[in-house]
Amino acid sequence: MPVRARWISVALAAVTAVALTACGSDTADTATTAPTGGSSSAAGASGPITVFAAASLTGAFTQIGKDFEAANPGTTVTFSFAGSSALATQINQGAPADVFASAAPANMKTVTDAGNADGTPQNFVKNQLVIAVPKGNPKNIATLADLAKPGVKVALCAPQVPCGAAAQKALQSANVTVTPVTQEQDVKAALSKVTLGEVDAALVYRTDAKAAASDVEGIEFPESANAINEYPIVVLKNGPNKAGGQAFVTYVLSAPAQKVLTDAGFQTP
Confidence of residue 40 (pLDDT cuts 50, 70, 90): low
Name the β-bridge partners of 75: 47
Q: Does the annotation list 80 as a binding residue?
A: no
DSSP string, 114-179: TT-EEEEEEEEEEE-EEEEEETT-TT---SGGGGGSTT--EEEE-TTSHHHHHHHHHHHHTT----
Contacts of 57 (CB under 8 A, 6+ apart): 81, 101, 103, 231
| Chain centre to alpha carbon of residue 5 | 66
Q: Does the annotation list 187 as a binding residue?
A: yes
**CA separation for the pair 133, 110 (Å, rounded):** 33
Confidence of residue 45 (pLDDT cuts 50, 70, 90): confident
- Top CATH class, 47-126+231-263: alpha beta
Please answer whether residues 77 and 68 qualify as being in contact, where contact means their C-beta atoms are separated by less than 8 angstroms: yes
The architecture (CATH level 2) of 129-226 comes to: 3-Layer(aba) Sandwich (3.40)
Please tell me if the domain spanning 47-126+231-263 has the same topology as the one spanning 129-226: yes
| Chain centre to alpha carbon of residue 45 | 19
Q: Does the annotation list 214 as a binding residue?
A: no
Q: Of 13-22, 40-49, 123-132, 257-266, where does mean pLDDT reach its minimum?
A: 13-22
The pLDDT of residue 60? 98
Domain ranges for the chain: 47-126+231-263, 129-226
Q: Does the annotation list 102 as a binding residue?
A: no
**CA separation for the pair 189, 56 (Å, rounded):** 10
Q: 157-171 pLDDT, tens per residue?
A: 999 999 999 999 999
Residue 217 has pLDDT above 90, yes or no: yes
Q: 60-98 pLDDT, tens per residue?
A: 999 999 999 999 999 999 999 999 999 999 999 999 999
